[in-house]
C-alpha cells in the first residue's frame, strides 16, 4: 500500500467522521429553532447523512481496491519466486 493510498483512506475516514458529527449536531439543534428553520435543517441533516453514506461506500470500495492490489502483488511476488 502506497503512502498516497494510506493518506487517501485516512482523509476519507476523517470526512466520514466530520459529516457524521455534523448530522448529530444538526439533529440536536433542530428542536431549538422555529418550525420553518427546523424543516430546512432536517433537509440539511438528511443531505449530510446521504453524503456520509456515499463516502462510506467510497471508503469500502477504496479499501477493497487497496486490499486486492496488495493481494495481487503478493501473488505475483510468490509466483516469480517459485519460477
pLDDT recorded at residue 19:
85
pLDDT in tens, 17-46: 988 898 888 888 888 888 888 888 888 888
pLDDT at 66 exceeding the cut of 80: yes
- Give Cβ neighbours of residue 42 (< 8 Å, ≥ 6 apart): 26, 30
CA distance 20 to 69: 29
pTM above threshold 0.75: no
Amino acid at each position: 500500500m502506497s503512502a498516497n493510498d494510506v493518506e487517501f483512506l485516512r482523509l476519507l475516514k476523517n470526512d466520514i467522521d466530520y459529516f457524521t458529527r455534523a448530522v448529530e449536531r444538526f439533529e440536536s439543534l433542530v428542536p431549538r429553532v422555529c418550525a420553518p428553520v427546523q424543516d430546512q435543517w432536517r433537509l440539511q441533516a438528511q443531505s449530510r447523512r446521504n453524503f456520509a453514506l456515499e463516502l462510506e461506500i467510497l471508503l469500502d470500495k477504496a479499501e477493497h481496491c487497496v486490499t486486492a492490489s496488495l493481494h495481487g502483488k503478493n501473488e505475483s511476488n510468490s509466483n516469480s519466486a517459485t519460477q
